[in-house]
Structure 1
Amino acid sequence: MQRANAELVRSLGAVRVIDYTKEDFSASGHTYDVIVDTVGTAPFKRSRGSLGRGGRLLLVLATLWQMLLAPWESAVSGKKVVAGPASERVEDLRFLAKLAQEGSLKPVIDRRYTLEQIAEAHRYVETGRKRGSVVVMVSHG
């Protein structure tokens, strides 16, 4: 993991940053309250032993099979597996807006593109090297 990436993750509040190219989190013996799998490499089978009591696994890129198994895995393990699309509730959006107004919510924007550059933006995202959100700006003309 590049030093800049590790610093970014720490600045977002991570207590411990793991360089997945040098360390296998599932073999370290450490347990975590939350594991967020953003790239599909930490399914429940691999993460189960690294989740503490009542821990949560968030599968951002879940397969259909993982989404179907999540309720069962949660029920039998005592650990919460969250997979699939997020539900949108008005109260959640209001809460996020409040955090943003207070400055507590700090989005990470890697790059900005105009609508005319959308193909370039898509190519950049597909590299798997983005370090935050990629924003496509639409002007009202």
Structure 2
Amino acid sequence: MASSHNVFSARPDDIRSLPRTLLCGVGRTAAQLAMTLGAKVTGSCRGTAMSEARSLGLARVVDYQQLNVDSIKHQFDVVFDTAGTLSIKEGRALLKPGGVVLDISPSPAKLFGIIFSARHKMVIGKPTPDLLTKVADMVAVGKLQPAIGKTVSLSDAIPALTALEQHGTPKGKLVITWN
């Protein structure tokens, strides 16, 4: 749910008032939250995840390995670089006039660019009780449908985390329950 913190931290007005959004590194939660806020979302992801990304209802899905910035130049009000893969120049080339690039994992070079540009912002999520309540309410009414890959008890957390580190990201989130 890290992306939920970042989407809400991005100030809803950054997304709600600017309907064309590109998510670089489509996250299921970030995409659903942006669409709930009224954004028309285009997503970039790896080729093997494109079918799942389309099933979320995104307006358009592109393979990030074949992303040609020139072919989608100046089309977006918001570019939310959740993967941290775009350069400052690429991010800005994607923006419409007045648009903004939101970055959750900026490189040192991007940090320098963020300091000197109102069009490139770093977003840091802050999981407040109010935010978590909003997210839980959205899940409860079906507006947000998180993918849960595996649920384990606290006593099984270490082996589950070890397996996650050794075998990579599963389809869905690892949920650890308190018993």
What's 1:23 paired with?
Answer: 67
Q: TM-score, normalised by structure 1?
A: 0.70
Which SS does the other structure have where 2:66 is aligned? coil
What's 2:58 paired with?
Answer: 14
Using the alignment, how far apart are the partners of 1:131 and 1:120 within structure 2?
10
Using the alignment, how far apart are the partners of 1:90 and 1:72 within structure 2?
33
* 8 Å Cα contact 2:78/2:102 also seen in 1: yes
What's 1:118 paired with?
Answer: 161
Number of aligned positions between the proteins: 128
Relative to structure 1, the CA distance from residue 84 to residue 28 in structure 2 (aligned partners, 3 Å threshold; closer, same or farther) is: same
Deviations 1:115-137 (A, max 9, x none): 12221112233xxxx46543142
Using the alignment, how far apart are the partners of 2:171 and 2:95 within structure 1?
25
Which SS does the other structure have where 1:36 is aligned? strand
Relative to structure 1, the CA distance from residue 123 to residue 42 in structure 2 (aligned partners, 3 Å threshold; closer, same or farther) is: same
User: Which structure 1 segments of 5+ residues have no match?
Assistant: none
Using the alignment, how far apart are the partners of 1:68 and 1:90 within structure 2?
32
Match of 2:143 among 104, 117, 125: 104
Which aligned pairs between 1:1-141 and structure 2 lie closer than 5 A? 1-2=47-48, 5-24=49-68, 26-30=69-73, 31-67=75-111, 69-74=113-118, 79=119, 81-112=120-151, 114-115=156-157, 116-125=159-168, 130=169, 133-140=172-179
Amino acid across the alignment from 1:107: P
* 8 Å Cα contact 1:29/1:50 also seen in 2: yes
Identity level (%)? 22
Using the alignment, how far apart are the partners of 2:104 and 2:125 within structure 1?
10
Q: TM-score, normalised by structure 2?
A: 0.58
Using the alignment, how far apart are the partners of 1:18 and 1:36 within structure 2?
15
The structure number with the bigger radius of gyration is 1
Using the alignment, how far apart are the partners of 1:87 and 1:66 within structure 2?
21
**Alpha-carbon shift at residue 83 of structure 1 (Å):** 1.9
Amino acid across the alignment from 2:141: E
Relative to structure 1, the CA distance from residue 32 to residue 109 in structure 2 (aligned partners, 3 Å threshold; closer, same or farther) is: farther
Q: Which is bigger in relative contact order (C-alpha 8 A, separation at least 6)?
A: 2
Amino acid across the alignment from 2:98: G
**Alpha-carbon shift at residue 18 of structure 1 (Å):** 0.8
